[in-house]
């Protein structure tokens, strides 16, 4: 029987692109869902996200019992979890876009605006850029060096540097991925990163943390 991959639908992600990429990477049981019961029974969970931190956090919490189900399955049940773009940022304790908004607080830290001092460096950080893994334990084992597609104006600053799984550079270092235990979050978009992204998703589908 194919594993069930719950692709969380809370109105804030490019779900079709992510679902198609997961299928291209070998997933057979992708379920786009906001049903807490499906999430509680899922083998793996993927949380996409596009837009502002506050809007995404509010939308996620606006689905009754969804966050509780995610916490039960991921933090207690240890299901492998992948957060993408704002889905990665929501792992933080808080975001400061449009005021302070609480995140999931699965990885302590803050999501802040990208600050640059060189006028040649544009925000948002958009386009292809290097991903440089740091080789910590946990989900960083899924990452490889290469180029991925980024699109963001805010970045995740973890409190514990050991949670940084990869970095990129855009007028200075930016966190490209975070990880702990069975949780991996990537700032870039695997579904837009061609072969590099599909290979990452394939490794996620085989991951046994």
The token pair at 180 is 């702990």
Cα Rg, the chain, nearest whole Å:
16
Tell me whether residue 191 is one of the annotated catalytic residues.
yes
Tell me whether residue 56 is one of the annotated catalytic residues.
no
Contacts made by residues 130-135, CB under 8 angstroms, sequence distance 24+? 130/168, 130/169, 131/166, 131/167, 131/168, 131/176, 131/177, 131/188, 131/196, 132/166, 132/167, 132/168, 132/176, 133/165, 133/166, 133/177, 134/164, 134/165, 134/166, 134/167
Report the alpha-carbon angle 107-110-113, nearest 5. 140
Find the catalytic residue in 98, 115, 189, 199.
189
Find the catalytic residue in 65, 115, 191, 199.
191
Tell me whether residue 189 is one of the annotated catalytic residues.
yes
Find the catalytic residue in 56, 85, 97, 170.
85
Q: Which residues are catalytic?
A: 85, 189, 191
């Amino acid at each position: 029987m194919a594993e069930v991959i719950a692709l969380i639908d809370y109105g804030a992600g490019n779900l079709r692109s992510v679902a198609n990429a997961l299928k291209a990477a070998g997933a057979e049981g992708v379920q786009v869902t906001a049903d807490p019961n499906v999430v509680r029974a899922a083998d793996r969970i993927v949380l996409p996200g596009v837009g502002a931190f506050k809007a995404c956090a509010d939308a996620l919490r606006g689905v009754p019992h969804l966050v509780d189900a995610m916490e039960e399955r991921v933090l207690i049940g240890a299901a492998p979890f992948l957060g993408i773009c704002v889905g990665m940022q929501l792992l933080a304790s808080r975001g400061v876009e449009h005021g302070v908004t609480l995140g999931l607080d699965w990885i302590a830290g803050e999501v802040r605006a990208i600050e640059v001092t060189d006028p040649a460096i544009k925000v948002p950080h958009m386009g292809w850029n290097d991903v440089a893994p740091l080789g910590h334990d946990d989900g960083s084992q899924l990452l490889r060096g290469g180029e991925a597609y980024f699109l963001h104006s805010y970045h995740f600053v973890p409190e514990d540097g050991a949670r940084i799984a990869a970095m990129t550079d855009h007028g200075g270092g930016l966190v490209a991925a975070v990880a702990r235990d069975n949780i991996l979050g990537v700032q870039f978009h695997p579904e837009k990163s061609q072969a590099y992204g599909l290979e990452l998703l394939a490794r996620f589908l085989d991951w046994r943390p």
